[in-house]
């Protein structure tokens, strides 16, 4: 643990460094702007045409229901430097995307006082397809976005809290949707090489075919990372889409295919690192890893006129995962070790449809939307004990049919020039059918939740709006926990859990664009959960947690200073507590507290462009009584590029520029190393990657 004063001094130093960089970049932009202006004067000295500053973040003033929703455009996404695809989602203010294992594994997510594990309570969709996987072998809401191709991301829209009728399961902390482009402005051919065996190639284009466009993209990637035994991460990824029409009136049909395999260096115990028996990039079990695949067919259709608009999207996804992990080493089995396998096979079918009617109410505009969302998952998964990926025994094996239907209605009404409302009601019904290898754990369960929502919006006054929101939400639990009767490891009696867990949220906020070029939003929120229920995939049981409350704030800013420099500056803090009394304490292990980020992007500076990103991920409690805490993590990434012509550019990216030796994630639990006679409670950490470079040549055609 670091002394608070020392941490404050380091933050002040980083702030001064970041400010210095910003000053240098801003000066360069201003000088370039002056040179450009002088050249313009020479051409036309009589009259100077007004220059309109174009921002790359869409304004949602006058449309948003809360201060914590927003839209990130393709231009802003392109300016980000990302080590892995999931980090593209960090464009959402306050969101941290991390990793504690091999690159092919789903990321670890943190937002609004949550350690969201691999995606629970952060609803993530790509082109309307839900990415969160229900009743997953490793963790509820497993969100694997490794199939995301950043160059195809045309838009990222996000919302926080249970305040939106269209967002159902997993959306209590927030929801985000990445929308792929139907067409590309020009073809892309890129080759990237980098440290630690990094190689990436991409070919994409959207030629005209008939009355529409055929978009294709093929990505190949290999990466070892800095680990003693390399990740040997190999990814093949492809997209094929045919589209016609526009976003308002048109359709698309899309095929996606992704497969990957990797070796994993999981977290290591701090005691072994301190003793020098393990290096930062070593592992206890060098046979961990996995392979994954995802194949999908989806379609979307939209039709609109002056009074109505209709949207329908449907998809079928086939996914497969074989995951091998060992977090406790020789705790349970001193002879063979504790490695376990979590195979998961699933086919998901989903349909989402909505229709909006635009009318007037008392002479004021009013939009009413009715929607339906259906999803069916056919799942086969298991928990097995393994040695070097060879199966020794099966703890449990299950076939699950999980089906849900959600109905919602939402009304947006502008009551007068300074007041509007967004009110909604959602009803969700889930049915779980579990066929387990242990008949005692088989069965059928169902549950229904009604979730009202209300957002009050006041303004604008001087391009400033105020918001007050309240809403109910929920998340589903693993189906296996709803029918559980016997602990699959011990055979002892076990308690069932409720299928759907209620959440309740309130939020106050303000959004302003009073200063030209600056968009700012401040929100203060509270979010309660009836229970922090989790399914422990490595034990095959559901752990019934205690009721919880999170209180916090988020402050986000996007500033387009001039035609070549933009600044993103975000800070958030959350206080997460368990609400009932217990001598063990009331902290929520792993709950994120403070997050801050600063991103500078430079373009239109002659042939040069670049970006610099600083992210601070604050310390977290690792145990309920707060006696053990993680350290903070700060990373500085950047890139610089040169445009040889409008069609060819070269980019150099640098990650962890200061080569800090922080943790990407920290846990506190019992483990036993070979040779230890008893279990030891210890901090287990996964390091951030050491400083690395990547150079990419991009040619457009």
H or E segment and range at residue 11: helix 4-43
Distances (CA, A) of 542 to 135, 451, 494, 496: 11, 25, 9, 8
Positive or negative CA dihedral for 459, 463, 466, 471? positive
In DSSP notation, 336-351 reads T---EE--EEEEEEEE
**Does a cis peptide bond (omega within 30 degrees of 0) precede residue 460?**
yes
The C-alpha atoms of residue 299 and residue 250 are separated, in whole angstroms, by: 11
The C-alpha atoms of residue 544 and residue 76 are separated, in whole angstroms, by: 41
566 SS3 class = strand
Closest CA to 502 of 540, 541, 476: 476
The C-alpha atoms of residue 281 and residue 261 are separated, in whole angstroms, by: 19
Residue 157's DSSP bridge partners are: 71, 177
Which residues, in sequence order, are CB contacts of 664 under 8 Å at separation 6+? 98, 99, 100, 108, 633, 685, 686, 687, 688
Look at strands 364-387 and 70-73 and give their pairing.
Answer: unpaired
In this predicted structure, what is the pLDDT of residue 27? 37
- Count CB atoms within 10 A of the CB of residue 168: 28
The C-alpha atoms of residue 543 and residue 580 are separated, in whole angstroms, by: 16
The C-alpha atoms of residue 143 and residue 290 are separated, in whole angstroms, by: 16
Strands (E), 518-564: 518-529, 534-536, 541-543, 548-560
- Count CB atoms within 10 A of the CB of residue 558: 24
- Count CB atoms within 10 A of the CB of residue 327: 21
| Chunked mean pLDDT (size 10), the chain, 701 residues | 38 40 40 38 34 55 95 91 95 94 94 92 96 95 97 96 96 96 97 97 97 98 97 98 95 98 96 96 97 98 96 98 96 95 98 96 92 98 97 97 98 96 98 97 97 98 97 96 91 91 97 96 97 60 80 96 92 96 92 95 92 95 95 95 96 96 94 95 95 98 96
- What value does the CA radius of gyration of the chain take, rounded to a whole number of Å? 25
- Count CB atoms within 10 A of the CB of residue 359: 12
Residue 630 backbone phi and psi in degrees, to 5: -75, 165
594 SS3 class = strand
Closest CA to 587 of 524, 523, 668, 662: 668
In DSSP notation, 100-164 reads SS-TTSPPEEEETTEE-TTTTTEEEEETTEE-PBTT-SS-TTB---TT--GGGEEEEEEEESS--
The C-alpha atoms of residue 697 and residue 652 are separated, in whole angstroms, by: 9
In DSSP notation, 452-515 reads EEEEEEE--SSSEEEEEEEEEEEEEPPHHHHS--B-TTT--B-----SEEEEEEEEEEEEE--S
The C-alpha atoms of residue 602 and residue 614 are separated, in whole angstroms, by: 15
Residue 255 Cα to chain centre, angstroms: 22
H or E segment and range at residue 275: helix 270-275
In this predicted structure, what is the pLDDT of residue 154? 95
In this predicted structure, what is the pLDDT of residue 57? 60
Distances (CA, A) of 578 to 48, 431, 531, 585: 62, 29, 9, 8
The C-alpha atoms of residue 349 and residue 395 are separated, in whole angstroms, by: 29
The C-alpha atoms of residue 103 and residue 108 are separated, in whole angstroms, by: 11
Task: Tell me which residue has tokens 């303004």.
Answer: 459
Which residues, in sequence order, are CB contacts of 19 under 8 Å at separation 6+? none
The C-alpha atoms of residue 328 and residue 653 are separated, in whole angstroms, by: 36
- Residue 627 region by backbone torsions, left for phi larger than 0, else alpha for psi between -120 and 50, else beta: alpha
Strands (E), 584-625: 594-605, 608-617
Which residues, in sequence order, are CB contacts of 4 under 8 Å at separation 6+? none
The C-alpha atoms of residue 544 and residue 546 are separated, in whole angstroms, by: 7
Per the CB < 8 A criterion, the answer to whether 688 and 664 are in contact is yes
Distances (CA, A) of 248 to 13, 312, 656: 49, 12, 42
In this predicted structure, what is the pLDDT of residue 362? 82
401 SS3 class = strand
Task: Tell me which residue has tokens 């602990």.
Answer: 487
Which residues, in sequence order, are CB contacts of 544 under 8 Å at separation 6+? 495, 497, 531, 533
In this predicted structure, what is the pLDDT of residue 542? 54
Per the CB < 8 A criterion, the answer to whether 40 and 116 are in contact is no
* CATH fold of 74-700: Maltoporin; Chain A (2.40.170)
Per the CB < 8 A criterion, the answer to whether 81 and 613 are in contact is yes
The C-alpha atoms of residue 554 and residue 67 are separated, in whole angstroms, by: 9
- Domains of the chain, by residue range, sit at 74-700
36 SS3 class = helix
- Maximum Cα–Cα distance across the chain: 89
39 SS3 class = helix
H or E segment and range at residue 432: strand 419-436
In this predicted structure, what is the pLDDT of residue 541? 56
Question: pTM here?
Answer: 0.89
Per the CB < 8 A criterion, the answer to whether 393 and 384 are in contact is yes
């Amino acid at each position: 643990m670091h002394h608070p004063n020392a941490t404050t001094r380091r933050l002040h130093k980083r702030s001064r460094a970041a400010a210095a960089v910003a000053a240098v970049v801003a000066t360069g932009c201003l000088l370039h702007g002056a040179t450009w202006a002088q050249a313009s004067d020479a051409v036309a000295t009589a009259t100077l045409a007004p220059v309109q500053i174009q921002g790359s973040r869409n304004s949602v003033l006058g449309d948003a229901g809360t201060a914590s929703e927003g839209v990130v455009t393709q231009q802003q996404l392109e300016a980000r430097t990302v080590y892995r695809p999931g980090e593209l989602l960090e464009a959402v203010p306050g969101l941290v995307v991390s990793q504690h294992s091999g690159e092919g594994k789903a990321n670890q997510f943190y937002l609004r006082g949550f350690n969201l594990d691999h995606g629970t309570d952060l609803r993530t969709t790509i082109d309307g397809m839900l990415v969160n996987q229900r009743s997953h072998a490793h963790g509820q809401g497993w969100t694997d976005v490794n199939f995301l191709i950043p160059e195809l991301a045309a838009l990222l829209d996000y919302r926080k809290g249970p305040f939106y009728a269209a967002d159902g399961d997993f959306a209590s902390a927030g929801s985000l949707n990445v929308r792929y482009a139907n067409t590309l402005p020009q073809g892309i051919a890129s080759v990237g090489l980098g440290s630690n065996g990094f190689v990436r190639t991409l070919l994409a284009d959207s030629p005209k075919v008939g009355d529409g466009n055929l978009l294709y993209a093929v990505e190949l990637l290999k990466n070892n990372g800095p680990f003693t035994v390399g990740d040997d991460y190999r990814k093949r990824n492809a997209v094929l889409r045919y589209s016609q029409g526009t976003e308002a009136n048109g359709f698309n049909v899309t095929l996606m295919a992704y497969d990957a395999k990797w070796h994993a260096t999981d977290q290591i115990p701090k005691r072994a690192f301190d003793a020098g028996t393990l290096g930062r990039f070593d592992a206890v079990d060098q046979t961990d890893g996995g392979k994954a695949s995802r194949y999908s067919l989806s379609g979307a259709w939209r039709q609109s006129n002056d009074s109505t608009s209709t949207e329908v999207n449907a998809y079928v996804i086939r996914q497969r995962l074989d995951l091998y992990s060992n977090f406790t080493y020789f705790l349970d089995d001193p002879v063979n070790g504790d490695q376990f396998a979590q195979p998961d096979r699933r086919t998901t079918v989903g349909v989402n449809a909505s229709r909006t009617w635009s009318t007037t109410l008392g002479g004021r505009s009013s939009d009413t939307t009715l929607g339906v969302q259906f999803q069916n998952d056919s799942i086969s998964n298991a928990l097995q004990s393994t040695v070097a990926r060879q199966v020794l025994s099966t703890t449990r094996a299950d076939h699950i049919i999980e089906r849900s239907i959600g109905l919602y209605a939402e009304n947006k009404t502008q009551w007068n020039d300074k007041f509007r409302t967004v009110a909604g009601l959602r009803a969700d019904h889930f049915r779980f059918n579990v066929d387990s290898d242990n008949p005692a754990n088989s069965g059928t369960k169902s549950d229904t939740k009604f979730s009202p929502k209300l957002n009050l919006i006041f303004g604008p006054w001087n391009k400033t709006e105020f918001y007050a929101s309240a809403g109910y939400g929920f998340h589903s639990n693993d189906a296996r926990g709803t029918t559980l009767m016997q602990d699959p490891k011990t055979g002892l009696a076990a308690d069932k859990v409720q299928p759907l867990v209620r959440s309740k949220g309130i939020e106050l906020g303000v959004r302003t664009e009073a200063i030209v070029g600056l968009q700012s939003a401040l929100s203060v929120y509270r979010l309660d959960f009836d229970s922090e229920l989790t399914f422990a995939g490595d034990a095959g049981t559901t752990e019934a947690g205690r009721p919880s409350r999170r209180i916090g704030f988020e402050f986000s800013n996007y500033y387009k200073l001039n035609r070549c420099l933009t600044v993103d500056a975000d800070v958030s803090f959350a206080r997460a507590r368990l609400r009932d009394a217990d001598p063990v304490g009331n902290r929520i292990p792993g709950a994120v507290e403070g997050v801050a980020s600063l991103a500078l992007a430079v373009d239109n500076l002659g042939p040069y462009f670049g970006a610099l990103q600083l992210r601070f991920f604050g310390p977290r409690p690792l145990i309920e009584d707060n006696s053990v805490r993680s350290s903070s993590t700060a990373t500085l990434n950047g890139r610089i590029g040169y445009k040889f012509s409008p069609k060819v550019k070269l980019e150099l990216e640098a990650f962890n520029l200061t080569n800090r030796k922080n943790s990407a994630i920290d846990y506190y639990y019992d483990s036993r190393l070979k040779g230890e006679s008893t279990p030891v409670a210890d901090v287990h950490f996964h390091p951030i990657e050491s400083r690395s470079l990547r150079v990419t040549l991009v040619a457009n055609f």
